[in-house]
């Protein structure tokens, strides 16, 4: 027996409703696909204490994504490197005198002549560079440099002492490696943009020194991702601004304040545990216990780095926030490339979740 008129009508209504529903799903999928094909903008805030490696990371982004630096920038870095050569040797030689480190009498005489010149001006000259080269020949200064955690001098100063012949050449042009090792404290706010896997990264870098941190709050809004950089090797060093405060403890306390700020309540966070190469070398002889009394891992590299990582993760009180961590060497371009690839996977997942696909 055939279907009744009312049954057929009811069936047609059901089919029509299903078609409308299917069309809505198709429209939503088309909209989401179009959104995904558009370039995603990712606003990244780069934070960390002074000398943690933030600026080095930013320079790596220039090298990896923009092929290097503009000609005027190379000239600026050249002047900075040459001036730093003088300033760093002054700091090293003065530390030898202050701490009574052994150096040859002849070296001490040369050093005093060098200081007389530097007291007039820190401007780079070939004469001053000649003194730097002569002073660095003394093994006593090299031994003193190994104790650099006891005074304020960059970890990379010896790199430039060792390459002084290239730096004093009249045709000297800094290599990308030279620029990565060059230290210029960040002041104010620096920004750069680059493309990565159909994503436009906008990175904001703010100075890490205490005097610069009051500017951070103005950068917190509209941030998609926080990258916080920690210098692992600074566990036996003091702040430049306050010689009573341990650098790594300062970084840990600061991360606690930042990660629990309301602005970052729903934001992903990436922890870069930087200077892993220096940390691996240092922990062979310098116990992490002097920074963290509850550490019992001795001089073990793996135990030490994972202990510090856990200390930082525990500082975040928001259990819903994703915290991704990477051990890095910011002066190693290949290492940073691998880390950025890993972050891109995080970013892609973030975009898919935002678009409702995960």
Q: Is 23 an annotated catalytic residue?
A: no
Q: Is 205 an annotated catalytic residue?
A: yes
Alpha carbon 309 to its chain centroid, in Å, reads 15
Tokens of 45: 């805030």
Residues 131, 224, single domain; the answer is: no
pLDDT at 329: 95
Residue where a domain stops, chosen among 122, 151, 181? 181
**Percentage of the chain exceeding pLDDT 70:** 79
Q: Give me the CATH number covering residue 79.
A: 1.10.400.10
pLDDT of residue 201 exceeding 50, the answer is: yes
Average pLDDT, the chain: 84
Residue from 90, 178, 205, 250 carrying the catalytic annotation: 205
Q: Is residue 61 part of a domain?
A: yes
How many angstroms separate the CA atoms of 166 and 25, rounded?
65
Which of the four pLDDT bands, split at 50, 70 and 90, describes residue 36? very low
Give per-residue pLDDT as tens, 107-152: 999 999 999 999 999 999 999 999 999 999 999 999 999 988 888 8
Strands 225-231 and 40-48: parallel
Q: Is residue 339 part of a domain?
A: yes
Q: Is 152 an annotated catalytic residue?
A: no
Which of the four pLDDT bands, split at 50, 70 and 90, describes residue 29? very low
Which stretch, 29-33, 60-64, 262-266, has highest mean pLDDT?
60-64
Q: Is residue 299 part of a domain?
A: yes
Q: Which of 7-11, 92-96, 141-145, 240-244 has the lowest mean pLDDT?
A: 7-11
Structural domains counted in the chain: 2
Give me the sheet containing 225-231, strands edge to edge: 189-196, 199-206, 40-48, 225-231, 268-274, 323-327
Q: Is 209 an annotated catalytic residue?
A: yes
Residue from 49, 51, 60, 82 carrying the catalytic annotation: 51
Residues 51, 75, single domain; the answer is: no
Q: Is residue 11 part of a domain?
A: no
Residues 63, 98, single domain; the answer is: no
Q: Is residue 322 part of a domain?
A: yes
Residue from 80, 83, 183, 355 carrying the catalytic annotation: 183
Residue from 209, 321, 333, 355 carrying the catalytic annotation: 209
pLDDT of residue 188 exceeding 70, the answer is: no
Q: Which domain holds residue 340?
A: 42-67+188-348
Q: Is 51 an annotated catalytic residue?
A: yes
Give per-residue pLDDT as tens, 213-247: 555 555 566 778 889 999 999 999 988 777 788 99
pLDDT at 220: 64
Which whole number is the average pLDDT over 27-37?
Answer: 47
Residues 141, 61, single domain; the answer is: no
């Amino acid at each position: 027996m055939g279907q009744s008129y009312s049954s057929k009508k009811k069936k047609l209504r059901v089919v029509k409703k299903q078609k409308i529903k299917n069309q809505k799903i198709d429209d939503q999928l088309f909209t989401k696909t179009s959104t995904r094909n558009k370039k995603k903008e990712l606003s990244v805030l780069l934070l960390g204490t002074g000398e943690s490696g933030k600026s080095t990371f930013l320079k790596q982004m220039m090298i990896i994504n923009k092929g290097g630096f503009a000609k005027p920038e190379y000239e600026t870095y050249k002047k900075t490197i040459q001036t730093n050569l003088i300033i760093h040797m002054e700091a090293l030689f003065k530390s030898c005198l202050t701490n009574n480190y052994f150096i040859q009498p002849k070296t001490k005489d040369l050093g005093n002549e060098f200081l007389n010149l530097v007291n007039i001006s820190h401007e780079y000259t070939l004469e001053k560079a000649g003194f730097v080269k002569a002073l660095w020949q003394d093994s006593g200064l090299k031994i003193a440099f190994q104790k650099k955690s006891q005074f304020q001098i960059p970890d990379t100063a010896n790199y430039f002492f060792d390459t002084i012949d290239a730096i004093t050449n009249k045709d000297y042009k800094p290599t990308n490696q030279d620029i990565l090792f060059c230290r210029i404290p960040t002041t104010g706010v620096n920004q750069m943009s680059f493309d990565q896997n159909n994503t436009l990264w906008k990175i904001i870098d703010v100075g890490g020194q205490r005097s610069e941190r009051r500017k951070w709050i103005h950068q917190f809004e509209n941030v998609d991702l926080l990258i916080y950089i920690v210098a692992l090797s600074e566990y036996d060093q003091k702040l430049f601004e306050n010689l009573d405060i341990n650098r790594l403890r300062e970084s840990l306390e600061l991360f606690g304040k930042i990660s629990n700020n309301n602005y970052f309540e729903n934001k992903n966070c990436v922890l870069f545990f930087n200077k892993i190469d220096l940390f691996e070398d240092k922990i062979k002889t310098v116990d992490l216990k002097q920074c963290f009394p509850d550490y019992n891992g001795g001089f073990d590299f793996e135990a030490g780095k994972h202990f510090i990582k856990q200390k930082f993760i525990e500082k975040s009180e928001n259990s819903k926030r994703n915290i991704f961590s990477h051990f890095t060497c910011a002066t190693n371009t290949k290492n940073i490339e691998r880390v950025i690839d890993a972050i891109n996977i995080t970013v892609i997942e973030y975009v898919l979740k935002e678009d409702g696909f995960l």
